[in-house]
Structure formats: C-alpha cells, structure tokens
Amino acid sequence: MLGEMISQAQGQITSMRVLPSEGSGLCIESSFQATGSLLGKDVTEVGTYVASLTPAGVFHGEGQGMFTTRDGEIITWTGQGVGKPKGSGQAASWRGALYLQTQAQRLAQLNSMALVFEYEVDESGKVQGKLWEWK
C-alpha cells in the first residue's frame, strides 16, 4: 500500500554518455541535479543512473545518488526502475523503487523505508520526481 508522498523535486539532466553495450542493447549513463523537499526539509539532490534499452523497447535502469539538506545532512540512495520512452530526445517516464540510508538522527526513519518513485524527463532533459513510502 502506498503511504504519503515524502519527496518532490525538479531539476535538469547535467550529462549523458553512451556506454559500451553488454550484449543487451544500448546503455546510457545520465546524471542529474535537482532541488525540492524530503520529509518537509529543503534538499538538493544529485544522482547518476545507467539505463539499458531492452528488446521490448523499454529501459531498465539502476542508479545511486544523494540528497543534502540545508543543515548539511546527507541521505544516500540506490534504486532500480523501468523507463518508457515518450516523444523524442531524452523524454521518458520512469517508475521504480529507492532505498535510502542516512546517519542523520532526525531522518533515521528513512533507513527502514522502501520508497516508490515517479520520475518524468522531458525532451530537453528537465526532470521531475516524486517519492512515496511503500507501506
């Protein structure tokens, strides 16, 4: 069951590169930077994911990154998802799961949460993401 939305952010893909294929088609590495909120705190987020294009025409992606609060608290994340290309350019719609880790006592509840995400990328590389707790 989905719980409440705990994060919302928007930003921009900052770099992309094509990686050597591992036999399953095209692989693209993308990095992004975003700003938003996490549990009501203002955060900056950076992340990188690698997406492989499957024979079915969808992407399978894996990534890692971190949120930083204005107070200097750091929350790292790892995740996986499926992306459906839409339109042209970088446009895709992603769905998947993230797992967060932090040593910040005020945010320790994140260490035991499974989160699901929606992540939208438009043709110019602008990104919007939302996270919900998966209860």
User: What pLDDT does residue 83 have?
Assistant: 97
Contacts (Cβ under 8 Å, ≥6 apart) of 75 = 38, 43, 66, 67, 68, 69, 100, 101, 102, 104, 107, 110
User: What pLDDT does residue 25 have?
Assistant: 73
Distance of CA 25 to the CA centre of its chain: 22
Low-confidence stretches of the chain (pLDDT < 50) are none
Cα–Cα distance, 113 to 76 (Å, whole number): 13
Cα–Cα distance, 107 to 112 (Å, whole number): 10
User: What pLDDT does residue 93 have?
Assistant: 98
Task: List domains and CATH numbers for the chain.
Answer: 2-134 (2.40.160.20)
User: What pLDDT does residue 89 have?
Assistant: 80
Cα–Cα distance, 24 to 62 (Å, whole number): 15
13 contacts 33 by C-beta, under 8 angstroms:
no
User: What pLDDT does residue 91 have?
Assistant: 93
